[in-house]
Structure 1
Amino acid sequence: MRIAVVGAGGVGGYFGARLAAAGNEVTFVARGRQLEAIRRDGLLVRSPLGEFRVHADAVVPTIADLGPVDVLLVAVKLWDTDDVVAQLRNHVGAGTMVISLQNGVQKDAVLRRELPAEAVAGGVCYISAAIAEPGIVVHNGEMQKLVFGEYGGQDSDRTRTFLDACLKAGIDAEISADIERVIWEKFVFLASISGATSAVRQPIGVVRADPRSRALLGDLMAEVVAVGRAAGVGLDPAFADDRLTFCDSLPATMTSSMHHDLTEGHRLELAWLSGAVADLGEELGVSTPRHRTVADILAPYELGEPDSVDEPIDADTDA
């Protein structure tokens, strides 16, 4: 297949490299030092499933440099979505399937608003992967899965063809007949664990071990379920309890990408996670005090490490 991967970070780099190693014609859209490294040395993937390097047939700096493709995977940070969609308008042909592997539940609405709605299929990914250094993607753990499907649940040749390409590339993949529900199910877990680990500044093991922070995590999940159900998504009312129990099976050191970005002083996807839950809840008349509080706590860090300020005056000091 002819596949374009917009965003050659941990997610896009890993799945794009797998597909390229299996013989598909993969073009990465990258920038900066990642672009230079892939051009020079290809892309190296370090994984418990085996280390491999792909010498990309093509890596380009902009979407405008892409040729016709069968599948276009969007794997950029959420704040880049509007810019990417604006560039995609003239590069999505009648036969192109666009799948966003981004976080959140608003991503496809943005894509479908600006692109032909029929071009966009829903998708989610399950993986922990990151750029260790330019040109090197590290896959943490063995989980690496794609789930995708047509909106409306219909079967299609294009999703079956892409599924076959994924399976031949060694990617755990499946087609869903209810992809909107699958996206929201991931969002219940992702938005909540991101909010809890970032607010507490600790991995999941610490969060789940303390009764009060565990209750916070459970409440965050319940709020997302309530918002999703109000939006008409078929989420099980008990799904939050199920995900909280699932958290007990995770490695104690596991954290979220937002917590990692917070500790590194990077920009946060806060507006599309806890911020989005709170905003959608307000629109739908669903109370989301826990997510609103998390969004407020993390607001100073949303654009990265805040500028230092003068040393504060101790309120207990006599004037």
Structure 2
Amino acid sequence: MRIAVIGAGGVGGYFGARLAAAGHEVTFVARGRHLEAIRRDGLLVRSPLGELRTSRDSVVAGISELGPADLVLVAVKLWDTEAVAGQLSSSAAHRAPVLSLQNGVHKDTVLRGRLTDEQILGGVCFISAFIEEPGVVRHKGTLQKVVLGPYGSGAAETARAVLAAFRDAGVEAEASDDIERAIWEKFVFLVGLSATTATVRRPIGVVRAHERSRRLLYDVMAETVAVAQASGVRLDSGFAEDRLAFCDTLPADMTSSMHNDLGKGNRLELPWLSGGVADLADRLGVAAPRNRTVADILAPYVLGRPAGS
């Protein structure tokens, strides 16, 4: 397959390199020092599952440089989704199926604003990976899983082909007949982990060990479940308790991308996480005061470290 990977960070870089190693023709879209390093040495992935390195000519600086593709993987930060969708719609890859492995539940709605419904595959990934230095992606642990599925029957054959490509690349990949539910299931946990580790400014072990921060974790997830149910997604009422129990199984030092971004003074995905839950709750007439408070507390940091701090 000819695969375009938009965003060569932890998620896009890792899965793109795996697909390239399996013989697919993978082209990354990257920028800045990361782009320069890949052009010089290829993209290096350091993983407990084995080291990978892509070719030096596997990267371009913009979506406009992409040729026709059989699949587009979107793995940029959420605030770039609208721009990516617009650029894709006028590129040579504009007819390709698009699979977003981004966080959140808003991503595919944004993509549908510029691309056809039949192009969009629903997907969610589970991995801890990040850019260690320009040109290098570090995979932490061995978890590397993708769940995907079509939103309608028209894309079922495409979904099967993409699923097979991931499996052939050694990635744990599952098909879902209710991909919207699968995306929301991850979202519940992601919102809880991100909200609490960022506001407490400590890893999950600290959050879950204290009665009041543990309650915050549960409340944030329970509100997200209520918003999902009000949106028509079939989540069980006890799903927040299930995710809280799951949090007890995580390594104590585990944290979230938003916590890491906050510490580095980077822009935050807050408007699509707790902020997104609170906004959806307002529109649906559902109460989400804990998520709204998290969004308010972190609001000064959404665009990065405030001046003078």
TM-score, with length taken from structure 1: 0.94
Task: Give per-residue Cα distances to partners, 1:104-136, cap 9 Å, x unaligned.
Answer: 101100101211111111111100100000010
Q: Which amino acid aligns with 2:114?
A: E
Distance in 2 between residues matched to 1:34 and 1:25, nearest whole Å: 20
**1:265 deviation in Å?**
0.7
Q: Which amino acid aligns with 1:89?
A: S
Q: 1:127 to 1:276 in 2, by over 3 A?
A: same
**Which residue is equivalent to 1:229?**
229
**Which residue is equivalent to 1:177?**
177
User: How is 1:127-276 mapped onto 2 (pairs within 5 angstroms)?
Assistant: 127-152=127-152, 156-276=156-276
**1:163 deviation in Å?**
1.2
Distance in 2 between residues matched to 1:181 and 1:91, nearest whole Å: 31
Distance in 2 between residues matched to 1:72 and 1:94, nearest whole Å: 9
Distance in 1 between residues matched to 2:293 and 2:104, nearest whole Å: 19
3-state SS, counterpart of residue 147 of structure 1: strand
3-state SS, counterpart of residue 108 of structure 2: helix
**1:188 deviation in Å?**
0.3
Distance in 1 between residues matched to 2:245 and 2:103, nearest whole Å: 22
**1:159 deviation in Å?**
1.3
Q: Which amino acid aligns with 1:66?
A: L
**1:276 deviation in Å?**
0.2
Task: Give per-residue Cα distances to partners, 1:221-244, cap 9 Å, x unaligned.
Answer: 000000000000011111100000
Distance in 2 between residues matched to 1:57 and 1:167, nearest whole Å: 25
**1:91 deviation in Å?**
2.8
**Which residue is equivalent to 1:313?**
none
CA contact (8 A) 2:22 2:168 kept: yes
**Which residue is equivalent to 1:317?**
none
Task: Give per-residue Cα distances to partners, 1:128-170, cap 9 Å, x unaligned.
Answer: 1000000100001111111111003677221111111111111
Distance in 1 between residues matched to 2:291 and 2:92, nearest whole Å: 36
**Which residue is equivalent to 1:15?**
15
**1:58 deviation in Å?**
2.4
**Which residue is equivalent to 2:304?**
304
3-state SS, counterpart of residue 156 of structure 1: helix
Q: 1:15 to 1:118 in 2, by over 3 A?
A: same
3-state SS, counterpart of residue 182 of structure 1: helix
Q: Which amino acid aligns with 2:129?
A: A
Unaligned runs of 5+ in 1: 310-319
More moved, 169-178 vs 145-154: 145-154
Distance in 1 between residues matched to 2:121 and 2:65, nearest whole Å: 23
Distance in 2 between residues matched to 1:88 and 1:193, nearest whole Å: 32
Q: Which amino acid aligns with 1:165?
A: A
**Which residue is equivalent to 1:101?**
101
Task: Give identity over the alignment, percent.
Answer: 65
3-state SS, counterpart of residue 145 of structure 1: strand
3-state SS, counterpart of residue 113 of structure 2: helix
Unaligned runs of 5+ in 2: none
**Which residue is equivalent to 2:69?**
69
**Which residue is equivalent to 1:52?**
52
RMSD: 1.3
Distance in 2 between residues matched to 1:56 and 1:232, nearest whole Å: 46
**Which residue is equivalent to 1:312?**
none
Q: Which amino acid aligns with 2:148?
A: F
CA contact (8 A) 2:79 2:269 kept: yes
Distance in 2 between residues matched to 1:160 and 1:229, nearest whole Å: 28
**Which residue is equivalent to 2:37?**
37
Task: Give per-residue Cα distances to partners, 1:198-226, cap 9 Å, x unaligned.
Answer: 01000000000001100000000000000
Distance in 2 between residues matched to 1:251 and 1:153, nearest whole Å: 39
- Which has the larger Rg? 1
Q: Which amino acid aligns with 2:300?
A: P
Corresponding residue pairs, total: 309
**1:94 deviation in Å?**
7.5
Give the 4+ runs in structure 1 shifted more than 4 A: 92-95
**1:57 deviation in Å?**
4.2
